[in-house]
Chain A
Amino acid sequence: NAGVTQTPKFQVLKTGQSMTLQCAQDMNHNSMYWYRQDPGMGLRLIYYSASEGTTDKGEVPNGYNVSRLNKREFSLRLESAAPSQTSVYFCASSEAPLGYNEQFFGPGTRLTVL
């Protein structure tokens, strides 16, 4: 099992460019999440999908869109990248959204917006 995979691992964009971060999990989990991690800020939830077919905003959704393509895949799109979106992006999955459910994280995407 690969667990949670993310592509790409690194990306440099210019301001205004768009891109999609891909995430896939092979653990048959219902819930998936996108976080960003910035120095001194901890991980902050961007969007999550409690189950296939549903998505909800997290703490910092502005400037992002998501698609839960199927149970395995959850993508994050930046329509018009800004320098403030320079960050490390982590995708995660869990069996269910609530309770004592471990979240499994992907290796992260390091994004720089110039």
Chain B
Amino acid sequence: RKEVEQDPGPFNVPEGATVAFNCTYSNSASQSFFWYRQDCRKEPKLLMSVYSSGNEDGRFTAQLNRASQYISLLIRDSKLSDSATYLCVVNVERGNQFYFGTGTSLTVIP
């Protein structure tokens, strides 16, 4: 079973739409959680960390549900520039490793 699973999409949404991605993780000992953004043929870059209480950064909101072992990312008022692949990342203390999901592809359409 994969450590981290994401719906690969693709999600095609119009500008201004709200879109949500979910990601599930298998290890209940997971300690820290992140969303990264990866543009086509580029390196991943941190979008936001995910805290237990949930956190918001402008149009982006991240939530963590430890009981159900999933994290979510909500993007409001989508912009063309939001088109990218969004990677869910989980850190497990065992082995000091970060586990990446396969990514969810988002295309925002004019």
Contacts and interface: CB of A to CB of B under 8 A. Distances in A.
Contacts, number: 54
Given A58-B97, A99-B31, A100-B32, A40 B42 contact: no
A87 B44 CA distance: 15
Contacts of B8: 40
A56 B96 CA distance: 9
Interface of A: 33, 35, 40-45, 48, 50, 56, 58-59, 90, 97-100, 102-103, 105-108
Contacts of B96: 48, 50, 56, 97-98
Main secondary structure of the interface of A (DSSP, over half): loop
Interface in B42-91: 42-46, 49, 87, 91
B43 to A, nearest CB: 4
B35 to A, nearest CB: 12
Contacts of A56: 95-96
Contacts of B25: none
Contact of B100 (A44, A98, A99): A44
B66 to A, nearest CB: 16
B103 A98 contact: no
Given A43-B44, A105-B45, A106-B43, A98 B91 contact: yes
B49 A45 contact: no
Contacts of A107: 42-43
20 contacts: A33-B98, A41-B102, A42-B4, A42-B87, A42-B101, A42-B102, A43-B87, A43-B100, A45-B97, A48-B96, A56-B95, A59-B97, A98-B32, A98-B93, A99-B31, A102-B49, A103-B98, A105-B43, A107-B43, A108-B43
